[in-house]
Each structure stands twice: as structure tokens, then as C-alpha cells.
Amino acid sequence: MESVEFMHAVMRKTAHLTEYFILSVFLLHALRSGRRGWQLRWALWAIVIAAGYASLDEFHQSFVPSRTASPWDALLDTAGASIAQASGWIWCRWRKAVTGD
């Protein structure tokens, strides 16, 4: 039974990470406003917005009887957003090196 509970917890935490990774990618796309590439200020704003949303979501969960609020979940969500931006930076550097743009 413990292994099932452990796997359930791992899946939930992985979902947190994945959801905010995707949100951060979408936020960067929106912040770029049609421009190409990757800029630090866009990435930082995407992370800040995602972190703010994660914090508000956890705050909201504190009022829902069937849910528990956890600052660790907000931190995990922010990590997902940060990983997305770091991945975008690596991707753009690699693409620039390969294509010479």
C-alpha cells in the first residue's frame, strides 16, 4: 500500500512541475508579442507571473475543505516554470550555434 501512495504522490508532484512548465512556455510566448528568440526579461517575467499564480492557487486551496495548501507546491510550480525558461535559453543557444543566426 505504501508503494501505491508513494507513486500517487510522485505523479501529483510531476503533474505540478509539468503544468507550470507548460504555463511558463505559454507566458513567454505571450510576452514576446510575436518577436523571435529568448530574452532574460521575458523569461523572468514568465517565472514571476507563474510563481504569483502558483501562490494565489495555494492560497485559494487553503479555503477549500477538501484541499490542502502547501508552500512546497508553490515552490515546485515555480521550479517547473524556471526549468522551462532554462530549457528555452539552452534551446535558443543551441539553435543559434547550429544555424548561425
**pLDDT for residue 82:** 98
Q: Is 19 part of a structural domain of the chain? A: no
Q: Is 30 part of a structural domain of the chain? A: no
Q: Is 18 part of a structural domain of the chain? A: no
Residue 90 has pLDDT above 80, yes or no: yes
pLDDT in tens, 11-31: 988 998 999 999 999 999 999
Domain carrying residue 84: 38-101
Q: Is 63 part of a structural domain of the chain? A: yes
Cell digits for 65?
A: 475543505
Tell me the whole-structure pTM to 2 decimals.
0.88
Q: Is 6 part of a structural domain of the chain? A: no
Q: Is 88 part of a structural domain of the chain? A: yes
Q: Is 77 part of a structural domain of the chain? A: yes
What SS3 state is found at 100? Answer: coil
Number of domain units in the chain: 1
Q: Is 75 part of a structural domain of the chain? A: yes
Q: Which residues contact 38 (CB under 8 A, 6 or more apart)?
A: 28, 88, 89, 91, 92
